Every structure is written in C-alpha cells, then in structure tokens.
Structure 1
Amino acid sequence: MKNWLKNLGPGVLVSAAFIGPGTVTVCTLAGVEFGFSLLWALLLSVIACIILQEMAARVGLVTQKGLSEVIREEIASPLFRNFAILLIFSAIVFGNAAYEAGNISGAVLGISAIVPSYLLDFGFVSLNLWSLVIGFIAFALLAIGNYKVLERAFIGLVAVMSISFLVTAVLTKPDLSALLKGLFIPSKGSAGLLTVMALIGTTVVPYNLFLHASLVSEKWKGKASLKMAQKELFWSISLGGVVSMAIVVTAAASGVTNVTTAADLAAGLEPVFGRFATWFLALGLFAAGISSAITAPLAAAYVVSGCMGWKKDLTSGKFRLVWAGILVLGMIFSSVGFQPVEIIRFAQVANGILLPVVAVFLLWIVNRSSLMGHSKNSIKLNIAAFLVIGITIFLGARSVFTVLQNL
C-alpha cells in the first residue's frame, strides 16, 4: 500500500483537471434534466479518456518528453509543423486563459455557499475578494516549483472532492435499479444529444493529453515504470468518472427542477439535507475549482515550452511566465465578472478541431517503431483508438457546427 501511494501522481492530476466547475455544471444539468438515463455517456467517456491518456502517458515515459515537443520534432515538413504548432498553441493557450476564469469562479461558487462573497471597490471596478484569494493560492502552489509539493496538494484536493460528492450522492438515497439501468443501457431523447456530447467532451479534455505526457516524465524515468503508470492512470481516471457520476446522481435524486448553475443544486439540497450536504457540496466545488485552476496554467506552460523548444522545468523563468499569465487573466476575468464570450467561442471552435487532431497525432506517434520501439500500440489498442478518434471527430464536427449556428 505504501508503494502504491508513493506512485500516485500524474493520473490523479489529470483526474482533478477534468473534474472542474464545467464538469460539475454539465453533470448537474444532465441529472436534473434526464435523471440517471445519461450515465452510460459518462461510462463511455471514461473508457475513451483512459485509452487516450494511456497512449499519452506511454509517449511521455518512453521519450521522456512532452507531447507538443514530440510533435514538433517528429513532423518533417516545416509548413505542416508550423501549422500544427500554431493550432495547438492558440487553442491551448487562449482556451485555457478563458477556462481559467471559469475554474476560479467555480472555486468561488463553492466557498460562497458557506462564506459570503466580499467585493472590493476600486473606483469604477469591483473585485471579488475570493477570486483573488483563490488565484493567489494557485499562484503560491505553482510558484513553489516543486512537483512533489504539487502532487501532494492535488492528492489532498482530489480526496476532498471525491469524498464530498460521493457522500452527498449517498445522502440522496438513489434508486439503484434505475441507476444501473442508466449506466449500462444507452438511451436518450432527441434533446439529450448535446448533453451527451457535453458529458463526453468535458471528460476527454485535449490539454490533459499534453499535461499527462509531461507529468509522467517528471514522475518516472524510463519505460520500466510503464505498468505502474498504467495502473495509476486506470484507477485515477476511474475514480474521476465515479465522482462525475456521483454529481449526476446527486442532481437526479435531489428533486431540484430548475438548475442554471451548480450553486442552485446546493440551494436545492439545503432544505432536504440541511447544511451538512451543502457543506460537502461546497467543499467539492471548491476543490474542483481550485484543482482545475492549477492544472490549466500548468498544462499551458508545458505546451508552450514544447512548442517553442524551451527547457521543460517548473523553476524556469519562461515556464513560470506562461502559467502566471494564464492565471492572472483568469483572476481578472473571474474577479470583475467579465465573461470573455468571444475568447470562449474561439476556444470551443478550436478545441472542437483540436481534440481529433491531437488524437490523430497521438495515434501516429504511438505507432512509430523508431520512436516507441516495443512500446508502440498493439492491434487491439489501435482498433480501440480508431473508435475513440471516430467519436471525437463526430463530436468535434458537431461542436463546430453548433457554434457556427450561433454566430
């Protein structure tokens, strides 16, 4: 057990990254609107996530490099290489800057459920004190520049988040037969298609592929640790999936009929379960928000370092400048209540294109014998990966189509 706990890390960080405020909100809406009937979509998304993240982790362990760095080095055509780098760079950096505001706002949402928000007035601008506090906590953890400290902080946050949502779900006393039916028998109404896409899209996150490849090379040296990395990934992502399902269960069984944000769910639970359940949900939201608020800037820094050929070092000045820029933008947007609609819209289009593109690049790299040797994909893994890529291409096309319809 001691050896197992010692090897926890990269998978836990990835799990913490995809269970952010966006996941909490999407899972809440899915539970309120469709009950347990879309749990199968979460199960599918967890399987897809494990397949893609395992390939990314394998690339990181074997090459001891980040995914963006490997892509830059392996593409021979300068024109195609520059296009790929530009696409990855723009989507991850601008997208993460936009989503960072949501991550910090989600943590604020959690803490505000138990402690009132405080606004600081500076002339024409009012800043939310909790947004600044949470931003500074994330800044402090990243500024330490020590991977082991970050790792321990995330394990603690994931433990709080997992316990909070799981306990809250148990308190709702869900119908187990209906839960199992929703988990293993696919069904949806026509209005549920976008929710299915959202559930899958919020779990299979493009920047996590870059983050994971870099983190495993920080944690372990060489492919001798591959089995341990795979086990840690499987259990961490599976736990993340269970937590997401717990949020759906909580929302479905709570009796709430109208939810626009996850804060409404906390308010809806309070009359039934008192402040006990509200506190658990608030702590879960806080942990989800602050953990994602750390991973988004960290992922952006790894991607930019790989794209630009910089040294991949948590204490590097350039590395710190990237994550600090993403974090400061998120703090500002969250604090003043500014909604960067155009940036988020761009991020939706870019990520809709980016996920299948990154998945294709990843599949190509993980099948290169010259790079991966005996650790390249097996036929079974390739079949599974092709199925996942087919799903991501479909979701990406629908995502772009949906955004373009709203222009």
Structure 2
Amino acid sequence: MAKHHSEISLSEVHNSVDTTAPNKSRWRRILAFFGPAYLVSVGYMDPGNWATDLAGGSQFGYSLLWVLVMSNIMALLLQSLSARLGIVRNRDLAQANRETYPKKVNFALYILAEIAIAATDLAEILGMAIGLQLLTGMPLIYGVMITALDTFLLIMLQRLGMRKLEAFIIGLIFIIAMSFLIQIVVAKPDASEVVSGLVPHIENDTALYIAIGIIGATVMPHNLYLHSALVQTRKFNRDDASIKKALKLNFIDSAVALNMALLVNAAILILAAAVFYKTGRSDVGEIKQAYELLPQHLGSSFAAKLFAVALIAAGQSSTITGTLAGQIVMEGYLRLRINPIVRRLITRLIAIVPAALVILINGEEDVDSLLIFSQVVLSMQLGFAIIPLIHFVSDKKTMGKFVIKPWVKVSAWLITVVLVYLNARLIVEQAMDFFNTPGNLISKALIILGAIGFVILLLYTTIYPLQKKKSAQKITIHDTPKNLELSPVQRYGKIAITLDFGELDEKVINHALAQGTPDSTYLLIHITESVAAGANFGESVDDETLSDQQYLNAYVQQLKAKGYQAEGKLGFGNTVDSIARIINESDVELLVIGAHGHRGIKDLIYGETINQLRHLIKAPVLIVPAKTEL
C-alpha cells in the first residue's frame, strides 16, 4: 500500500499506447485510439441488464426496442463527456472531484463510488455463477466461489499490457454477440415486427415500469470513472489539433462500442419476444427460467448452451473493468494505491459474501431478487457521477476551447434529470413495498434518514460548483519539493548480503563491496529451507544444512583472503522472517539482495521476498537484478 504516487491516472498504463510513432502507418496510428470504449461497453451488457431485457421482450414483444435505442443515445453522450474530461484535462472523474469538492464531500462520494463498484461486481458474480450452473449443473454456491479465481486471470492480463487486455475483452464481446446472433437466427423473428418496435409508445403502467428499469440500468456510474481514465492510456501530442483529433476518434470508438452493446441488449429483448411473447409465455423475467424454456421453444438445447456461454462471458468481461474502476476511484479520491491483487480480492469478497449468505440462508430462489437489488443500488449512485461530470466539462476555465457547446450542455442536463428521476422513482417504488409491511420501525427510520442525507448530498454536489467558492486546485499527490541540504551518506560500516549459492551471488557480493570501506564488515546470510532444519530451527544436522554451512564458510574465507572482514550466518524457517530477524539483531546498516526477476505465476509460487522484507527491516535495501551488468 502506498500513499504517495504519480498523480496520473492508471499510472502503470498511462500513455502506454503510442499514437504518434513515426514508424507506424497512418491507419495504425488511428486504430491505436480504438479500444477504451470496448472496456466501457461491457458494463452495458452485463448480467444486471439481462433481467429487464428478458422481462420487456416476454411481456411486450418488440414494443420496447425504442427504449433501448433512446437509452443508448443517452449513454453515448455521457460517455463522450467522460472521455472529453480525460483527454482535455488529463484527469479522471475521481481526480476532478478531489480538486473541486471539500474533503468530507469527497469522502462521501468515494464511499458511494465503492458501493457502486461492489454492486456491479455482485451482478457479475451472480451472472457468472448462474451461467456456470446452467452449463455444468453445479450448485450455485460453488459457482459463486469459483468466480474468485478470476483474480488470477486479471493479474495475467494486466502484465501483458493494455492492448492485450482490450483484445481479450473484445474477444469476450464477440462471443456474446455471436451467441445471440445464432440464437436469433434459430428463433427467426419477423423483421417487420422488429422494426415496429422502434416507434416510441408505452402500452400500460407495467410497460412504463419495465422501460424505467431498462433506462435506469443503462448508464453505470463506474463506467464514467473508467472511461475518463482509459482514454489517458493513449499517448498523443498536446497541441489543439491533436486534442481535437483525439476527441473525434474517441467519439467514433464510443459510438461503435456502445452500438455493439445496444445490439446485444436488443438481441436479448428480440429473442425473448420471438421465443416467449409469441408463444404466450409473458411471465419470463428470470435468467434461469429463460434458459430452461429456450430448448422447448427453439427445439435445440445448443441455443440454450450458447445463452449460458454468453452469460459467463458477460460476467467475466464486466468484472475485469470493475476492478480497474475500483483502482481509479481509490487512487483519485484517496491518493492511495494498493496491490491490484489485493484490490481485486477485497472487491470480490465484498460482493461474494452477501451472495453466498443469501444462497446459504434462503436458497437459490432469492438470487434474482439479489440481482435486482444490485441494480437498485447502482441507480442510487448515478447522479453523483453524472452531475459533477457535466460541471467539469462545462467549465471554460479548465476546458478552454474544448468546453462543451450549449446544446450539448442542455442535452446532458436534460438526460441527467430524466435518469435521476427514473432511478429515484424505481427506488421509491421498491421502498414503498417495504414500508407497506408492518413492523421494522427502526429500519424504516434509518431508511428515511438515509434518504434525507442522500437528497442533501445530491443537491450539494449540484450547487457547490456553481458557487465557485473553491477555485480548482491542481492535485498534489506529492508534497511541494523543498530545497535540498545535500550531505552524502557515509559508506556503510556493516553490510548484509543474502545468498542462494547460485549465479547471482557474485553480482550481489560485488555490488555490496562497492558500498563499503576497508573497515566495513560483510554479513553473509543464507536461509536453509530443508524440512528438518525448518522444524528444528537449526538444531538439525541434515545434509542440506551441513552443505549450506560449508558453502557459506567458503564464501567467507574467499572474502577474508582478499582482505575483507566477513562473517556468515545461516537462518532457518520462513525466509522473510529469518532474514528480517538476522538483519534487525545484527545492527546491519545496508542490505544487498538479489532479484531473480520472477513474474506472474512464479511470484505466487516463489513468493515476493523483497516486497515483504522491506517492510520488516529498518536498514536501506539495495536490489541487484539478475540481468544487471557489472
């Protein structure tokens, strides 16, 4: 965990995709801009959207297709504003919030953003678990536990680079799209009836309720944080012409990616309409129910299997982007970075625990209600992402000539009012069902207090930037550099050297000698890892312990023969703890240690000794990589 770090968003991949390389053709430089929106688009086709699409298609046929189109237009406008913020100001939404709002408000916005990400992750977990159950027949609780393993997939993808990660996500989107394309071909919907669904009309109050659900679940708050950071992975010149070009190409990227998401959602609704509505099954609104009925109506179990495969792909792709969003909000709001593995595990556990408890206590029947609950939670957070975003891209002082035009600003505020109203209506209707039940007075009182606080915070985030009481401040991740008083550190008197009796030992020892003086003492350390030595903490006389002692003595004698003061020390048991104990007990002033350069899964197998060790000792650490030339 680190408090001070680079102020750039997603610093490990910031500007990692070069769009200016002169050795690339013009088309390759243009194509280098495409990719971020595809990572964003998976949030628009995640398992949380499937239930509303299924319900809309099974109950009202193709008549709500226009709602999907309208919601996609809203999403495209808002995501383009998010991309604009990142491209023009080099700020993600979390960083911009930190610059603008007071600390307490920022902390509240951070908590809400984390809740939104956990709710998103909950929907992905349930979607993947249901998909695994449908495909393999395993109990749902096992599927929930298996989803924790995708942490290791994310680790591998992050190490491969941004373009590989984007390619993997695009591959999953392709699987989803092809799965539904095949199902649509089998279902054979009537083209003229499908087109008629693009004409806006609402049949009744139930249709209105489902339409609200479709629109309310469209724009995900974490996607606005995500997009503003992902566009900064592209390296381009900062002149006005290059920024204008970046804005144009990223808009095209967003339009293509979000329209793909629209086609997937439309395919789900069309499939439900063609298979269920046309056969009189207007009661299908659950994912498992749809899967079970598909073979009966399509005459093929293969199409149902594709449905499950698409569900797994949707869950997997969305959970990867959710982790990136979590990293963005934590670094942007708190200036805090933690290991991505730890970050992923924390987010995943926050989502797994409630899912597992609901399944264990109430059984698998309540899973769909938990899925709906995750969408309600997301609905509550949306205004706190959209409203600040519109303020930021409307500020001419910070956006300059790239400030949004008046008609875009009016459209954005109109969309915000619609989305906040629809989401609030959904929440109120859900709450009224609870308030109509007797008892639970304390819970009802807490809900009322929470609602009041919710409204106050929403109004504050809306009004505060208009007052301009606080001018925008540049994020200062680092403290202001002070004038240096240079007094070089004296050469070290006692230097510890860790050895493994391998090829790296020579380099490590030579680097250590360069840090000392003729009077320095060199402490050579090796940790014996035999089972017997580890169990007896050195009392064992097994072959490995004896040979290790001989090798260590040989090194010590070689150093003494060259005129150096040297001594050896064997350690036993846990490698990290043993080295730390010897260092701290021996008053060592510097530790020199070799790094073999393990990556990926090898880090998990061999451990990350250096990373753990540096937190346990007070002495400075000099790391000698395996490929270092002397």
**Residue equivalent to 2:249:** 228
**Residue equivalent to 2:163:** 148
**Residue equivalent to 1:133:** 146
Contact 2:58–2:272 under 8 Å retained in 1: yes
How big is the alpha-carbon RMSD for the aligned residues of Structure 1 and Structure 2? 2.7
**Residue equivalent to 1:123:** none
Residue 340 (structure 1) shift? 9.8
Residue 349 (structure 1) shift? 6.4
Rounded to whole Å, the distance in 1 between the matches of 2:353 and 2:381 is 26
Q: Give the residue type in structure 2 aligned to 1:262.
A: I
**Residue equivalent to 1:98:** 119
Contact 1:301–1:320 under 8 Å retained in 2: no
Q: Give the residue type in structure 2 aligned to 1:186.
A: H
Structure 1 residues 53, 346: CA separation in 2 closer, same or farther (over 3 Å shift)? same
Rounded to whole Å, the distance in 1 between the matches of 2:188 and 2:230 is 38
**Residue equivalent to 1:163:** 178
Residue 71 (structure 1) shift? 1.3
Q: Give the residue type in structure 1 aligned to 2:145.
A: L
Matched, 1:82 2:96: no
- Unpaired runs of 5+ residues, structure 1, are 120-126, 311-315
Give the counterpart of 2:390 among 342, 350, 363: 363
**Residue equivalent to 1:405:** 432
Rounded to whole Å, the distance in 1 between the matches of 2:132 and 2:370 is 26
Higher helix share: 1
Deviating more after overlay: 45-54 vs 333-342: 333-342
Rounded to whole Å, the distance in 2 between the matches of 1:142 and 1:20 is 21
Rounded to whole Å, the distance in 1 between the matches of 2:372 and 2:185 is 37
Matched, 1:375 2:402: yes
Contact 2:126–2:367 under 8 Å retained in 1: no
- 1:13-24 equivalence runs, <5 A: 13-24=39-50
Which of 1 and 2 has greater Rg? 2
Rounded to whole Å, the distance in 1 between the matches of 2:313 and 2:302 is 17
Contact 2:215–2:419 under 8 Å retained in 1: no
Rounded to whole Å, the distance in 2 between the matches of 1:113 and 1:266 is 8
- 1:1-400 equivalence runs, <5 A: 6-75=32-101, 78=102, 81-83=103-105, 85-117=106-138, 127-128=141-142, 130-142=143-155, 144-145=157-158, 146-221=161-236, 223=243, 224-255=245-276, 256-271=281-296, 272-310=298-336, 317-318=338-339, 320-335=341-356, 337=359, 351-400=378-427
Contact 1:101–1:330 under 8 Å retained in 2: yes
Residue 160 (structure 1) shift? 0.6
Structure 1 residues 74, 302: CA separation in 2 closer, same or farther (over 3 Å shift)? same
Rounded to whole Å, the distance in 2 between the matches of 1:356 and 1:25 is 23
Q: Give the residue type in structure 2 aligned to 1:87.
A: A
Give TM-score, length-normalised by structure 2: 0.58
Contact 1:91–1:351 under 8 Å retained in 2: no
Q: Give the residue type in structure 1 aligned to 2:192.
A: S
Contact 1:139–1:327 under 8 Å retained in 2: no
Contact 1:26–1:199 under 8 Å retained in 2: yes
Residue 347 (structure 1) shift? 6.4
Report the identity percentage. 26
Higher relative contact order (CA 8 A, sep 6+): 1
Rounded to whole Å, the distance in 1 between the matches of 2:311 and 2:109 is 29
Rounded to whole Å, the distance in 1 between the matches of 2:76 and 2:136 is 37
Paired residue secondary structure (1:187): coil
Q: Give the residue type in structure 2 aligned to 1:357.
A: F
Contact 1:98–1:343 under 8 Å retained in 2: no
Structure 1 residues 287, 341: CA separation in 2 closer, same or farther (over 3 Å shift)? closer
Residue 142 (structure 1) shift? 4.1
Residue 118 (structure 1) shift? 5.2
Structure 1 residues 35, 340: CA separation in 2 closer, same or farther (over 3 Å shift)? closer
Equivalences, count: 389
**Residue equivalent to 2:516:** none
Contact 2:92–2:332 under 8 Å retained in 1: yes
